[in-house]
Amino acid sequence: MKTIFEQSTRDELINRINAINEYSTPQWGKMNVYQMFKHCTLVEEMFLRNKYYKRVLIGRIIGQKALKNMLKDDQPMMQNAPTAADFKVIEIQGNTEEERTKWISLIKEYEHFSNPFYVHWFFGKMTREQIGYFVYKHSDHHLRQFNS
């Protein structure tokens, strides 16, 4: 499985991010390019900056099982996967290029990732290996959403 902690994987994601333009249309979902870029920067900041979001009850009950199921193979994340309200971008318009640059910069930071005690709002405690796989799958999910 691909992991964000491999340089070749980060390079691939950056190339795919750069292939998207402001006129790209989603294959599913309601987000436009700006909203998707912003959503992804929020997620990367959560992992990299150790931003804490309150755990949800359903995550406490099934989070670890859901994570294990999601990471069992190379299967992409399902379309229209649910997310927490904290990661839903309401603004329709914004500086797309600024968000692209920010997302790419955050992806590059995974080269020096050090957050061994990370707790996800839904999945709970995650190992470095799980974070690596999940971050790739999440990025891949949204890049595929915009056909990249």
Per-residue confidence of the chain (148 residues) as pLDDT tens digits?
999 999 999 999 999 999 999 889 999 998 999 999 999 999 999 999 878 888 899 999 999 999 999 999 999 998 988 787 788 877 788 999 999 999 999 999 999 998 877 899 999 999 999 999 999 999 999 999 999 9
Domain for residue 98, yes or no?
A: yes
Domain for residue 76, yes or no?
A: yes
Domain for residue 2, yes or no?
A: no
Find the domain containing 69 and state its range. 7-145
Domain for residue 1, yes or no?
A: no
pLDDT at residue 89, as a whole number: 79
Domain for residue 90, yes or no?
A: yes
pLDDT at residue 126, as a whole number: 95
pLDDT at residue 32, as a whole number: 94
pLDDT at residue 100, as a whole number: 97
pLDDT at residue 24, as a whole number: 94
Domain for residue 42, yes or no?
A: yes
Question: How would you classify residue 118: left for phi > 0, otherwise alpha for psi between -120 and 50, otherwise beta?
Answer: beta
Q: How many domains does the chain contain in total?
A: 1
pTM over 0.85: yes
Residue 40, both tokens: 């992804």
Contact in structure between 118 and 47 (CB atoms under 8 Å): yes
pLDDT at residue 67, as a whole number: 96
Domain for residue 26, yes or no?
A: yes
Sort strands 119-120 and 124-125 into parallel, antiparallel or unpaired.
Answer: antiparallel
Domain for residue 52, yes or no?
A: yes
| Cβ within 8 Å of residue 74, ≥6 positions away | 1, 2
